[in-house]
Structure formats: structure tokens, C-alpha cells
Amino acid sequence: MTDGDTTLAQQATSIVDRNNVKVRGSTGQAVLFAHGFGCDQEMWRFVAPAFEVDHQIVLYDLTGFGKSDVSAYDFNTYSDLSVHADDIIALCNELNLENVVLVGHSVSATIAVLAANAAPEKFDRLVLLSPSPCFLKIGDYDGGFEEDAIEGLIEAMEANYLGWSEQTAPMIAGQPPDGQAAQDLTKSFCQTDPTIAKHFGRQTFLADNRDDMTRLTIPCLIVQCENDPIAPVSVGNWMHDNMPTSTLERVPVTGHCPHMTNPNLTIDAIRRYLDASTG
């Protein structure tokens, strides 16, 4: 074994353990699920099993979240969303995954695009669930928020993360606080290391990855919720208009987390896209 092979073997062991990688399902085409801000792979529990019969399902926790090795979240290293994209590529390399369907929710939809742009040979298609390349209103682009509103959101998160989580999670879920998805999201937010959440939150809410979207060459499905307080319809329209390889499907869901609040609609949208692409 060469030194390069040794390094790869060590890296393979570390990333599978570090990011709590789980592989299950058939030996078919791999579908890799990437969760959103403050969440973990458990948020896919209502969707991922529907694809196990004919796909290999790969679940993981972003570095710093869920049951990943929190100590691996170096604040200097993870100063940009592209590093999380590098993790996806490394995961694919180490599990020998090719022709992957990459499903990303919210900020991980952006991370998915960054990964596909960096290593297009690894991916077959992307599914971008409730995506937003930029949350700000800039010129003719309507990302949903004025800059002072985003700064206020971040300041509230940094001042009192637990209080912010309890107030914001139900809004993001599109449910009252006693709704199941709202409770799941609140619990997940509150279990996240506050320092990491604040650091990653700044990257998430202040990012502008519109140019990265326009460079995507991999076919993608944009799943847009009709009443999303985080990523309004204008964002989905902009993405579809500026991403030549995109398909847009609007689903009648309130909130930002259709995989949690209406998993059957989400499964159907993904399945239609996969079936149409292979038909």
C-alpha cells in the first residue's frame, strides 16, 4: 500500500465515523441525503425508507451537527459552505459512490450544488428541497429578507440561541409550537452546540451563492413549497429561470420542511423526478 493509499484508508475510517454515516437499502443507485441547518439525518426518517427498495440510501450528519464528532468542527476550516461540500465529495470517494442522486434540504441544497460543481463526475442528479442561494433582497432578486431583518435574526440567535430556537423553529416548520414537526425541529435546534449553530448560521443566512447556481451542469429538481417563510416562491422561480438543467415542482405545503410536514408529497415529487429521468 502506498502512502497515498494509507492516507485515504485513514481518511475513509475517520469520515464514516466522524459524520455518523449510515448505509442501507438495496444495491441500486445511491441516494445521499444532506440535512439542513440545526438538524441531523433523523429528519429524513419519513422520506428515506421509501427509496430503500430500489436504491442504496446514504445518510450522514454534517460536521458539527447531530451525532457527528463535534470536535471536528474547526471554526477556521469550516468558515465557508464549500468545506461541507468537500465533505460530501470525500464521503462519496471513501464509500466508492458513483452516479449519485444527492438530495439536499435548505442550506444543504446549496452545499449540494457546490459539491456537484466541484466534482460533477460523481453525481447523476440533484434534488434541491426548499433551496435558497441567497436569503437577501438584492436588486431584482427577491430572497425574502431585507438586510436589516437578516442581521436582526442573527443578532437574536447570537444573544439567546435557545430562546431563538424555541421561537423560530415552529415558524420554519410552518406549524404551531405543539405540532410534531415544530417540536422535532425545536428539539434538534436546542440540542445543537450553540457556538457551532451561531457560526454556521452566519454562513447560512448571509451567503450569496447565486453564481454557483448558474454554473450547475448536473440535472436538478427544485422542490418549492407554496408558502415558505424562509424561501419564497420568488426564489424557486429565479433558480428555475437561471439554472438551465433544472425542473421546478411546487408543492402545496406551508413551511420550509416538506420532508417533515408532508413526507408523502415529498416522496412523490422525488420519485416522479427519478422515474422520469430514467424512463
Query: Is the four-CA dihedral 15, 106, 111, 199 of positive or negative sign?
Result: negative
And the C-alpha cell for 47? 422520506
Q: How far apart are the first and last CA of the chain?
A: 42
Catalytic residues: 106, 228, 256
Rounded distance, CA 269 to CA 142, Å? 25
Q: Are strands 100-105 and 56-59 parallel, antiparallel or unpaired?
A: unpaired
Rounded distance, CA 233 to CA 61, Å? 28
Beta bridge partners of 225: 251
Rounded distance, CA 74 to CA 195, Å? 11
Distances, alpha carbon 119 to alpha carbons 58, 93, 216, in Å: 18, 11, 11
* 127-162 residues labelled b (16+ CB within 10 A) or e (exposed): bbbbbbbbbbbeeeebbbbeeeebeebbeebbeebe
And the C-alpha cell for 9? 484508508
